[in-house]
Structure 1
């Protein structure tokens, strides 16, 4: 939840970021995707040492791929800077 924590900290310090609707939606999708990944990984750990342990790997992979697509694997600070620049364009 690296991006979610960063966005939360920035929002707590400076208020809501001034993003256009597309970039704000992107930010919310990133937070949502990280939440899904965290939940799936917690569920997966509940099934450790059972035949169902690897059941969620495909879903986790798809969500991780989506998160990568949304973030470009940028550092949170760089991502937010990019989102600000795209909002100004």
Structure 2
């Protein structure tokens, strides 16, 4: 089932806040830099994979399909260096 649309700027702000809370030393973790990277690099690749769709003005996205996404996330966790938080944490 598709999700609700979220603006790319809102997504970038959320990522910047998450990155800051994790204590990242990334020089490009301000919301505008993240938004540019999302818009021009990351989101088009995710859209090409059929996981998200851009809104009519390409300034928002929505999740298209979750089938198989859980397995993908599980398999890529070691590559990204992140692990899921347990439900009781």
What TM-score range do you get, normalising by the shorter chain? under 0.3
TM-score, normalisation: structure 1: 0.25
Q: Which has the larger radius of gyration?
A: 1
Structure with more helix by fraction:
1
